[in-house]
A and B are shown apart, each in its own frame.
Chain A
């Protein structure tokens, strides 16, 4: 395969983890700058802060305000090295465990604190 278009094929692409579970989209890509080295695409960012930053300062401020309201102190954002990419196709597979990502904290919290306390919340396929 030849060149990959970052804005067409990579940014906003669906990410899946080792188990093929959906773990968000590529919200931002970071270039790594090191002295004496050419810049290279090094990091995938997943999370609301990255998305808000893309929209503009006002959205970032709004995002921070909402999170402050809920008493969140740390940013719920995941940074995954580009080396973790295993496959690029309709979706992009990362060699990570979705459950360990900071950007999946809300998903985990809702699952354990809300969903599992309501009858019928868990089990095999419906």
Chain B
């Protein structure tokens, strides 16, 4: 019974973790400009993330070490600097965007300019990290994040054309604006497959004291949670395809995305949109700064746990405190959240090789995983994801220049 409660909670957590500022913005842009056509990218991104999360979760549960621990231990300090710096740079960009998302939600709700909300958001977020424990951060934001289901309700009320949507689950070439199409494809992949998600997930397995007994929970959480989360992102794309595309509205401001729920659901839709944007971005803010502090603490061997009081892990607690306040500054001085979101998602996509390729080595290490090493299907999947990550690294900058505008 306890196991099932854990499974249910895990699924809810990954739904809450999946949808955030990046997925909302890029899915809405994709739907507005290319209808259902980019849905296959969300399928690809969701499947890749589910596979990466299952593996990092299994690695932590069996070896009792986090992915960041093993990046340092098995590859040495020199190599470790590479994922450390890459993940820090992109995660900082993403967390700034998330604080931007929270601030925009508050601007739409109150009419007060988003710049004023950045610092208060960071302070409230810091307070929760300082006083709250891992369960509060993980499950609290996940439970509230279920309001994102309103996107699924909105999509259904708009009566999507199912056969067309079904066909869009398979890749197809665009008939117009090819650079823009592939740019959005890269952004959507960057929004789906974020290193912070699996670094956080792997640290969470240790925080929640997972053992080999939890491998089933891990599989269901990573699989089902991402199916639901990815489903909500597809729902966002569908609503944008049905509301924004016919009116030829291209998303260049967050306020325009509010229309995708306000059209099918009326005033309640606007409220749901604000709540979804607020809660999912706020939850992601907490998870990203924690993921960064975990990476630093684990890589350098500091004491760390969101369940310890800050004086027991002073360097860890100071790290997330400094990071969350630092991330609020660019928004407070007026950087445009949507532009920043788009840049962050492409940068994330480009950063993937350094955290995906080492996983292949670790998942085949019998000393760490005993009989739980990858079988050939998992290895094949991981090779495909690694190749995809290399393509993303090579394509990111040219596409940002050609299709980013």
Contact = CB atoms under 8 A, between A and B. Distances in A.
B307 A12 contact: no
Contacts of B304: 22
B308 A126 contact: yes
Contacts of A55: 77-78, 81
B302 A14 contact: no
A25 B300 contact: yes
Interface of B is mostly: helix
A110 B130 contact: no
A46 B314 CA distance: 18
Given A12-B73, A115-B314, A25 B133 contact: no
B64 A90 contact: yes
Interface residues of A, number: 34
A1 interface: no
Contacts of B69: 14
A55 B74 CA distance: 16
Contacts of A21: 303
A54 B77 contact: yes
B314 A111 contact: yes
Given A12-B76, A51-B77, A25 B309 contact: no
A122 B131 contact: no
Contacts of B133: 125-126
A96 B336 CA distance: 51
A12 B315 contact: no
Contacts of A54: 76-78
B131 A120 contact: yes
A121 B301 contact: no
Interface in A38-89: 46, 51, 54-55
A115 B311 contact: yes
Point out which of A11, A12, A24, A121 has the most chain B C-beta atoms below 10 A from its C-beta.
A12
A13 interface: yes
Nearest to A124: B309
Given A54-B78, A55-B78, A90-B65, A24 B302 contact: yes
Given A12-B72, A14-B301, A55-B78, A116 B315 contact: no
A125 B65 CA distance: 21
Contacts of B72: 12, 25
Contacts of B309: 120-126
B77 A12 contact: yes
B310 interface: yes
A125 B301 contact: no
Nearest to A50: B77
B311 A111 contact: yes
Contacts, number: 83
Nearest to B133: A126
A117 to B, nearest CB: 10
A116 B311 contact: yes
A25 B75 CA distance: 14
A26 B161 CA distance: 59
Contact of A120 (B81, B130, B302, B315): B130
A115 B308 contact: no
A28 to B, nearest CB: 9
Nearest to B63: A90
A7 B78 CA distance: 13
B211 interface: no
Contact of B301 (A24, A106, A120, A126): A24
A27 interface: yes
Contact of B307 (A7, A14, A24, A126): A126
B301 A107 contact: no
B131 A24 contact: no
Interface string A97-126: 000000000111011001110101111111
B266 interface: no
A126 B78 CA distance: 35
Interface of A: 7-8, 11-15, 21-25, 27, 46, 51, 54-55, 90, 106-108, 110-111, 114-116, 118, 120-126
7 contacts: A8-B74, A12-B76, A21-B303, A90-B64, A107-B314, A121-B311, A126-B133
Interface of B: 63-65, 69, 72-74, 76-78, 81, 130-133, 300-304, 306-311, 314-315, 317-318
Given A27-B77, A106-B315, A122-B311, 11 more contacts: A14-B69, A22-B302, A25-B72, A51-B77, A110-B315, A111-B314, A114-B318, A116-B311, A118-B310, A126-B131, A126-B309
